[in-house]
Amino acid sequence: INKKSIILNKNNLKKFSAVLLVTDHDKYDYKFIAQNSKIVFDTRGVYKKFAFKNIVYCWIMEKKILNLKIQKL
């Protein structure tokens, strides 16, 4: 698997079909990410406090998806 880092900016976010959020860190601007992404899959519940329409909430426990809530885009 080839992996590489990219700079987290508006142009790079718009290049991708989706963002997969698998961890939450204080250093990231989650509002900026959501505003500049087509769709965000949130596995950590970071966006519960926001009202963005492009967020798919996914909570994963014991390798099973327990809850999947898709907001209408």
pLDDT tens profile 2-44: 888 889 999 999 999 999 998 888 899 999 999 999 999 999 8
pLDDT at 49: 87
Query: In a 10 Å sphere around its CB, with 0-12 CB exposed, 13-18 middle and 19+ buried, how is residue 70 labelled?
Result: exposed
Q: Give pTM, 2 decimals.
A: 0.74
Nearest to 31 by CA among 7, 10, 61: 10
Say if CB 52 and CB 73 are below 8 A apart: no
pLDDT at 68: 53
pLDDT at 73: 47
* Residue 58: pLDDT over 60: yes
Say if CB 69 and CB 57 are below 8 A apart: yes
pLDDT at 69: 53
